[in-house]
Structure 1
Amino acid sequence: MDLSKLIGTALLGITLSLLFKKDKPEISMFIGLITGVGIFLASLHKLSFIIDSVVSLSNKININTLYLSTIIKVVGISYLIEFAIQICKDAGEGAIASKLEFAGKVMILTMSFPIMLSILETIINIIP
């Protein structure tokens, strides 16, 4: 989906949401949620090209695929968590959003910890 279709989808979602907001706020929120999920899923399609390109490049320069897959997963988690946080905020649930943000940070730290250990081991081995 190209940029103009994404913008059109967003404007349509906003318009429909505003039409229902006064009389049926639950439908308005549902329209916003569906619009956001649709835009998110359309954007995911574009990410596959980037991931394939990075994997191809890493194979050419012999980077350990464990590190590369971890980095891709961390970026994916950060995007998904941010999307979920925004949904919570749109629904008026700021408290849940802040807890979700904390959980996302913990997950990212946990996933990236082996890479940090590897970097520290490399530094220790370099220093006499």
Structure 2
Amino acid sequence: MEILKIVMLGMTGMLLGLFLKGIRAEYSVYLSLAAGICIFSYMTGKLSYLFSSVLKFQEYFPIDAAYLTALLKMTGITYISEFASGICKDAGYSAIASQIEVFAKLYIMVLSMPVLLALIETIHGFLS
């Protein structure tokens, strides 16, 4: 199972980080970053399957490509911001991590506005 590989990689990185924290604390942040990048790069291989599935979904249902693009962008923003926020928290920079999270939430709201406006227009069309 692939999830077990990822969990074991993460747990190994965490245990090595705890071990290094007692010896050289600055290296534990680098190790955490390296483990996170390894897990993130493994995930990017799965993204091709996700994109092909979304395109197949679009073939079956007449959905505007802009909506699917916005959905994929929102998903990417969520993963990237959570990754960066977690690294910042591990390094002891919680304030920066919080700012990354706030910006990501606001940016997702900005990306969702065209979808929300299209939904409101559709509802208005039904009510008129």
Same fold (TM over 0.5): yes
Q: Identity rate of aligned residues, in percent?
A: 36
Aligned residue in 1 for 2:14: 14
Q: 1:58: Cα distance to partner?
A: 1.0
Say if 1:11 and 1:101 are closer, same or farther in 2 by CA, change over 3 A.
closer
CA distance in 2, matches of 1:126, 1:14: 54
Q: 1:127: Cα distance to partner?
A: 1.0
Structure 1 segments of 4+ aligned residues over 2 angstroms from their partners = 1-5
Aligned residue in 2 for 1:91: 91
Q: Which runs of 5+ in 1 are unaligned?
A: none
Q: 1:23: Cα distance to partner?
A: 1.8
May I ask how many residue pairs the two structures share in their alignment? 128
**Residue type of the partner of 1:45?**
G
- Farther off after superposition, 1-10 or 62-71: 1-10
String of CA shifts for 1:47-97, please: whole Å, max 9, x gaps. 221221121111222211111111111111111111111111111111111
CA distance in 1, matches of 2:110, 2:65: 18
Q: Which runs of 5+ in 2 are unaligned?
A: none
CA distance in 2, matches of 1:79, 1:10: 16
TM-score of the superposed pair, with normalisation by structure 1: 0.91
Q: 1:2: Cα distance to partner?
A: 2.2
String of CA shifts for 1:23-46, please: whole Å, max 9, x gaps. 200011111111111111112211
